[in-house]
Amino acid sequence: MMNEFSTKIAPRGAFCLGIAFGLSVVGGMIGDGVLITLGLSAVTLMICCYVLGRSNLYHLEADVSLPHKVHANKSYRPQVVIRNHRSLLDAFHVKLYLAFPHGAVLASQSAWVAAGSLASASLLVRIPMRHCSLEHPYKFSSTFPLGLFRFSTRQLLHHPLTIYPRSIIPDELLEVGASGQCQYPDQQSNLQHAGEMRSVRAWQPGDAAKNIHWPASIRSLAHGHGLRIREFDPPGLLPERAVIIFHSFSAEREMMREDTFERGISLIAGSIAYLRNLNIRADLVADFMGWIPLVTKTRPQYYECLSFLADGKRAVGTELHELQSAIDAISDKEQIIIISDMPPDAWFDLVQIPDSASVVDIRQVHFPVKKTISAKEALSQSA
């Protein structure tokens, strides 16, 4: 276990050390034993505070009850525990700073932790972006006793953590209804049923009796109002399978930015979740996965896909023929959703895309622009 101690003298300690040095020097110059004794006493006090302060942080350990798999940009309230493994000496006025990826830091303070015991606190944490990590740095700090020194020790918490990406549904999917419904002209002409029920509204002349929502109508009539009618989405046929294609190909010299790739990952996660809610099998084909299809039909497969996305790295050197081959391999009866971290203007005209495919514009999402810092940097910046 990494255990790095550091000690800095506090302003109060510097003042005390100056007084001790001054008393010793003046006492030696004038031959005054009282001043020399006072100076030596002050030095002895500082030495005792130094030894006791170092011992105060010895054999302390931190732990956290955060799940091993969480979602980015969602708030969690884990239990943070400070354990004192010493058998005799209690710990006093201990501050804990536990750092997670992307600058998320949990800060806790305990006034007293008995020897062989622990102290816990429930803290709020929100990790803004996706990440995968096995270890998390944390720091204990204290000014005990008397505030003459600032003691700190750095350690590592071994806690595997997978942070799933943000889930953002593309506007293109919402605009066309249920995931860009497949068009079958020979069947659409005979289609008589409506789509999914959207809401309940008041009855209007010309509404069919079969669309009356009787439970809502009974409640409405009891309050002196009229009948209530079911309102449906436009009719359509949902595809059995949809394929999400992600690529980083660009024919122009577009700037490669980290935030655009993060946006693309979030749009992938949102598209898959949206399709799963409609009971549509969603497969992911991405250049950063080597164009190998990843199925998300079952719940374990879905979370396995999210784990891949949490650790995905942008592909470099994606070529046009690779993208075209991935599109051509998809059947005409399957819905195609194309997502890229490059604007459509930089690649759309060079690729042959079916008319029924949905092309997602990466520019619809804007993450806050700020420098991403590591957990160690965030810990160094903590108070």
**What residues are paired with 113 via a beta bridge?**
91
**What residues are paired with 9 via a beta bridge?**
149
Task: Specify the pTM.
Answer: 0.75
Q: Would residue 130 count as lying in a domain?
A: yes
The DSSP call for residue 78 is: -
Reading phi first (left if > 0) and then psi (alpha if -120 to 50, else beta), residue 177 is in: left
Amino acid letter, 203: W
What pLDDT score does 370 carry?
54
Q: Would residue 67 count as lying in a domain?
A: yes
Nearest to 180 by CA among 280, 295, 301: 280
Q: Quick check: 353 and 332 in contact, CB under 8 A?
A: no
Same domain, 321 and 217: no
Mean pLDDT of the chain: 84
**Tens-digit pLDDT profile for residues 25-41:** 888 888 888 888 888 89
- C-alpha–C-alpha distance, residues 133 and 163, integer Å: 9
Same domain, 145 and 14: yes
Average pLDDT rounded to a whole number, residues 70-77: 92
Same domain, 224 and 248: no
Q: Would residue 342 count as lying in a domain?
A: yes
Same domain, 182 and 312: yes
Which structural domain, as residue segments, surrounds residue 152? 4-166+373-381
Using the predicted structure, report yes or no on whether residue 184 has a pLDDT greater than 50: no
**Tens-digit pLDDT profile for residues 236-295:** 556 778 999 999 998 876 666 668 898 999 999 999 999 988 888 899 999 999 999 999
Q: Would residue 192 count as lying in a domain?
A: no
Q: Would residue 302 count as lying in a domain?
A: yes
* H runs (alpha helix) in 189-298: 214-222, 258-277
The DSSP call for residue 183 is: P
| 303 CB-near residues (< 8 Å, 6+ apart) | 69, 164
Q: 316: pLDDT confidence band, cut at 50, 70 and 90?
A: confident
Average pLDDT rounded to a whole number, residues 61-82: 92
Looking at the structure of the chain, the number of domains it has is 3
Same domain, 207 and 131: no
Cis peptide before 145 (omega within 30 of 0): yes
The DSSP call for residue 223 is: T
Using the predicted structure, report yes or no on whether residue 193 has a pLDDT greater than 50: no
Q: Would residue 50 count as lying in a domain?
A: yes
Same domain, 245 and 350: yes
**What residues are paired with 6 via a beta bridge?**
152
Q: 51: pLDDT confidence band, cut at 50, 70 and 90?
A: very high
Same domain, 30 and 147: yes
Q: Would residue 65 count as lying in a domain?
A: yes
Amino acid letter, 314: R
Q: Which long-range contacts (CB under 8 A, 24 or more apart) does 325-328 make?
A: 325/291, 326/245, 326/247, 326/285, 326/291, 327/245, 327/351, 327/352, 327/353, 327/354, 327/357, 328/352
Same domain, 40 and 75: yes
**Tens-digit pLDDT profile for residues 80-121:** 999 999 988 899 999 999 999 888 888 999 999 999 999 999
4-13, 34-43, 247-256, 351-360: least confidently modelled range: 247-256
**Residue 321 three-state SS:** helix
Amino acid letter, 199: S
DSSP string covering 107-163? EEEEEEE-TT-EEEEE--EE--S-EEEEEEEEEEEE-TTTTSEEEEEEEEEEEEEEE
Same domain, 210 and 96: no
Q: Would residue 148 count as lying in a domain?
A: yes
Q: Quick check: 138 and 1 in contact, CB under 8 A?
A: no
CB count in 10 Å sphere of residue 177: 16
Same domain, 109 and 96: yes
Same domain, 49 and 120: yes
Task: Give the CATH number of the domain where residue 36 resides.
Answer: 2.60.40.10
Q: 186: pLDDT confidence band, cut at 50, 70 and 90?
A: very low
Same domain, 201 and 114: no
Amino acid letter, 379: L
- C-alpha–C-alpha distance, residues 128 and 4, integer Å: 29
Average pLDDT rounded to a whole number, residues 159-185: 73
Distances in Å between the Cα of 63 and the Cα atoms of 139, 238, 240 are: 12, 47, 45
